[in-house]
Amino acid sequence: MKCKKCGGKASVNMRQHKLALCKEHYLEWMPEQTERFIKKYEMFTHYEKILVAVSGGKDSLGLWDILVRLGYKADGLYLGLGIDEGIGYSRESHRLAEKFANAHGLKLHVVDIEKEYGQPIPVLADKSHRGYGKPCAVCGLAKRHEMNRIARDLGYDVLATGHNLDDEAAVLFGNTLSWANEFLLRQGPVLPATEGLARKVKPLCRFYEREMTAYCLARGIEYIYEECPFAEGSQSIYYKELLNKLETDRPGAKLTFYLRFLEARKSGNLFIEKNVAQEHLHPCPKCGQPTSAPDLCSFCRMIEKVNSITAS
């Protein structure tokens, strides 16, 4: 497969865009696209102070790297969750976040949950009896709380997270399965600031998880590869696997799922009962059945079309 820009050997193929690029052009394309999304969704400007939530994983480190390459004023925030499970998961992810910050001369704020609240995440989860035996719900809750606290206390204009399209599609899929309309109505690339809550943005929301992995590999960014030991068997991973099977057979399915949702949400019609359907119906001049089409109903138009083709 060849790079669409230079004809050289392609390293990344994005079937949903029908676009293959070599490493060099891929590394140019990613920041260009990120900038486009930042502007399209009015996430932030070059005059604002950004706090990037950094976990040591591919998405957050990739995001930080892209924002800095684009010239944004972006500092990092690492939350020490105290997850060990015999592999020193938090220690290693902290090391990689520090390594990236030091290599690029960037400022990284570090907050240790155990130091702040007396217990690491697994113990908080266990003692609070939240999350049905898994600490993921408590972890998510603590992260959202602490990210907002630090962004607000340190005067950042906006909090940026590394959520990619697979994250967004998995959340959307889960909330759609249960028709959680109040949560569906909140999901989007930007959560505006409200009283006490910092603006939250997701500049990677239109990149596949695969693309973020490719970006880190191509840029030589060392990230924590091992999965969080508690993530195994999680619902979000299960949904991602399902969606990837769909994507393999139908390239672009994940992107369409997410973008059509955003369009529906933006239009203001999501979950609003429309009583206008009846109002717009009128009898088809040919068959008399109700139709919303301006003239003949779809069936009569189809028959007319077939008849005209047959006659000619």
Q: Which residues bind another protein (CB under 8 A)?
A: 1, 10-13, 20, 23, 57-59, 136-137, 139-141, 143-144, 161, 163, 166-168, 170-171, 174-175, 178, 180, 183, 186-187, 191, 202, 208-210, 212-214, 217-218, 225, 227-228, 230-231, 234-237, 240-241, 244-245, 247-248
Q: What angle do CA 184, 187, 192 make, to 5 degrees?
A: 135
Query: What is the smallest separation between the CB atom of 218 and another protein, expressed in angstroms?
Result: 7
Question: At closest approach, how far in Å is the CB of 186 from another protein?
Answer: 5
Minimum CB distance to another protein, residue 98 (Å): 20
Q: Does residue 51 contact residue 150 with C-beta atoms inside 8 Å?
A: yes
List beta partners, residue 53: 77
Closer of 65 and 167 to another protein (Cβ): 167
Q: Indicate the residue among 258 and 297 with the shorter CB distance to another protein.
A: 258
**Nearest one of 30, 98, 106, 48 to 90, comparing CA atoms:** 98
Q: Which residues contact 68 (CB under 8 A, 6 or more apart)?
A: 74, 104, 106
Which stretches within the chain are classed as H helix?
Answer: 23-40, 58-69, 89-104, 113-117, 121-128, 136-153, 165-177, 181-184, 209-219, 235-249, 253-267, 276-280, 298-311
Shortest Cβ distance from residue 284 to another protein (Å)? 44
Nearer to another protein, 225 or 271 (CB): 225
143 vs 71: CA distance, rounded Å: 26
Which string of b and e fits 203-212 if b means at least 16 CB within 10 Å? bbbbbbbbbb
Distances (CA, A) of 116 to 79, 82, 167, 230: 11, 12, 28, 22
Closer CB to another protein, 72 or 258, in the complex: 258
Which strand (E) or helix (H) includes residue 19? strand 19-21
Least distance CB 72 / another protein (angstroms):
21
C-alpha–C-alpha distance, residues 157 and 94, integer Å: 24
User: At its nearest, how many Å lie between another protein and the CB of residue 1?
Assistant: 5
What's the rounded Cα separation, in Å, for the pair 263 and 30?
A: 23
Q: Provide the minimum distance between the beta carbon of 181 and another protein in the complex, in angstroms, as a whole number.
A: 12
Shortest distance in whole angstroms from residue 17 CB to another protein: 14
Query: Which CB, 61 or 297, lies closer to another protein?
Result: 61
Please say which residue, 221 or 284, places its beta carbon nearer to another protein.
Answer: 221
CA 213/CA 306 separation, integer angstroms: 51
Residue 68 or 163 having the CB closest to another protein: 163
Between 168 and 291, CB nearer to another protein: 168
Q: 271: which residues sit within 8 A by CB, 6+ positions away?
A: 181, 184, 185
